[in-house]
Amino acid sequence: MKNSMNAEIIAVGTELLLGQISNTNAQWLSEQLAHTGINVFHHAVVGDNLYRVEEIFSQAQNRSDVIIVTGGLGPTEDDMTREAFQRISGMELIEHQPTMDKITSYFTAANTVMTPNNRKQARVFKHAGVLENNAGMAPGMIVNHEEKIWIFLPGVPREMKHLAEKDVLPYLRKTAGTDGLIKSTVLKFSGIGESALEDSLSELIRSQSNPTIAPLAQNDGVVLRLTAKAGNAQEADQLLQNTKQTILQKVGGYFYGTDTDTIEGQIVSRLRHHGKKIAAAESLTGGMFTERLVSARGASEVLSGGIVSYHTDVKQEVLGVSSQTIEKHGTVSKECALEMARRVRELLNTSVGISFTGVAGPDGIEGKPAGTVYIALSDKDSDDQVELFTFQGSRNSIRERASKKGLEILFKHLK
């Protein structure tokens, strides 16, 4: 494969910039190009303005080997992809008779008068490879300009994918001269921050070559994206597996899954494996933890239920937390959290009970500032445990972080 064959994807359309539609074309094309072994170095979105489209096209011509443009091939005045490329290339536009015949036949069959602007969709560059669009009107084009490959595709995702799969990807595989590919996997970690993970793997990251290693922070923890380049899928898988094992030797204690795995799903799997069921008593989290666990497939086999004991009366009268505990230590205390976890386990007849009590804010409670959270775990097969956390952020952020931390504690306990 030509090491220098790097691609760029340009989406044309003001509706993308306004957020009226998502640029799913670029995401899909990037994934397909990776399977083909072609690097995508740039994504661009530009509105329906001739001078701005021309400017972005000029930049692409100077920095990329393959430029794929989606959108701007329709019949209306704001469809100006052809015109912008003509300005940077000087190529002649002609009417493609087979496409024109197809457009005319469509309007005849629909018994509708064709407006003159529909002829615009049949305009192609004189020496382009024309890609017949069986899913729509405007054809695609492949154009070679000053040793760069330009590919023009409709913006409608169904039409774009049809032409890409039928014509573009086979053409690029042949042009690249290899069956090589780029393959990625994601390793997921919980209970360790991005900076700490990166520091633990600093030497490995510095010496990375193939696969590459990229730490990324996400809402549910930290992930490492491993990307391997190889001649075939088997070679890529082996490269990824070898690097994964090296990483897990260093930070495997925080690892919980790959790619589409979720920590909730892993918890459900481990509860099932150990033959345990769980119940939750939630105060400040208000059911968030239970909701997250319910989202995992198979949760009904291991989750008996939960009690939202937001008010003190519910802690006492429903859960059965003793009045002495609350009077002496308060509801925001390790003693109350432990009693909540034990009582919900006993009430719902489960092996494990987990509880959350604390202050979400904005004001403090019982002399405890907002962000103070106690999470307790009671397992009939081991000693009870309770941890104190101080979270920062908004009211809902504190509640979400407490729910997430509860999942981390439970996963670690089961692991």
Domain for residue 291, yes or no? yes
Is 82 found in the same domain as 47? yes
Is 324 found in the same domain as 189? no
Domain for residue 1, yes or no? no
Q: Which of 5-14, 221-230, 273-282, 382-391 has the lowest mean pLDDT?
A: 221-230
Nearest to 155 by CA among 78, 228, 234, 61: 78
- How would residue 13 be classed by pLDDT, with cut points 50, 70 and 90? very high
Give me the CATH number covering residue 18. Answer: 3.40.980.10
Cα 93 to Cα 69, 127, 383, distances in angstroms? 17, 9, 78
pTM exceeding 0.75: no
Is 366 found in the same domain as 290? yes
| Local structure of residue 242 (DSSP, 8 states) | H
Give me the CATH number covering residue 220. Answer: 3.30.70.2860
Is 319 found in the same domain as 267? yes
Give me the CATH number covering residue 345. Answer: 3.90.950.20
> Which of 228, 258, 288 lies at the terminal end of a domain, its last residue?
258
Is 199 found in the same domain as 344? no
Domain for residue 394, yes or no? yes
DSSP string, 181-212: EEEEEEEEE-SS-HHHHHHHTHHHHHT--SSE
Per-position b or e across 143-154, b if 16+ CB within 10 A of its CB: bebeebbbbbbb
pLDDT number for residue 1: 41
Distance, in Å, from the CA atom of 202 to the CA atom of 250, rounded to the nearest integer, reads 11
Distance, in Å, from the CA atom of 338 to the CA atom of 355, rounded to the nearest integer, reads 7
pLDDT reading at 288 higher than 90: yes
Is 228 found in the same domain as 298? no
Q: C-alpha angle with apex 159: 154 to 165, nearest 5 degrees?
A: 105
Structural domain for 187, as ranges: 181-258
pLDDT number for residue 177: 67
Average pLDDT, the chain: 93
> Which of 258, 287, 307 lies at the terminal end of a domain, its last residue?
258
Contacts for 371 with CB less than 8 Å, ≥ 6 apart: 358, 359, 361, 390, 391, 392, 393, 398
Q: How do residues 91-121 score in pLDDT, each as one tens digit?
A: 999 999 999 999 999 999 988 899 999 999 9
pLDDT number for residue 233: 84
pLDDT reading at 181 higher than 80: no
Is 160 found in the same domain as 63? yes
Is 248 found in the same domain as 216? yes
pLDDT number for residue 180: 67
Q: How do residues 155-171 score in pLDDT, each as one tens digit?
A: 999 999 999 999 999 99
Total tally of structural domains belonging to the chain: 3
Is 269 found in the same domain as 230? no
Domain for residue 383, yes or no? yes
> Helices H, strands E: what count in the chain?
16, 17
Domain for residue 356, yes or no? yes
Q: How do residues 32-45 score in pLDDT, each as one tens digit?
A: 888 787 889 999 99
Q: C-alpha angle with apex 55: 54 to 57, nearest 5 degrees?
A: 65
Q: How do residues 255-279 score in pLDDT, each as one tens digit?
A: 999 999 999 999 999 999 999 999 9
> Which of 176, 195, 217 lies at the terminal end of a domain, its last residue?
176
Is 14 found in the same domain as 154? yes
Nearest to 396 by CA among 356, 355, 363, 362: 362
Is 270 found in the same domain as 251? no
Is 140 found in the same domain as 228? no
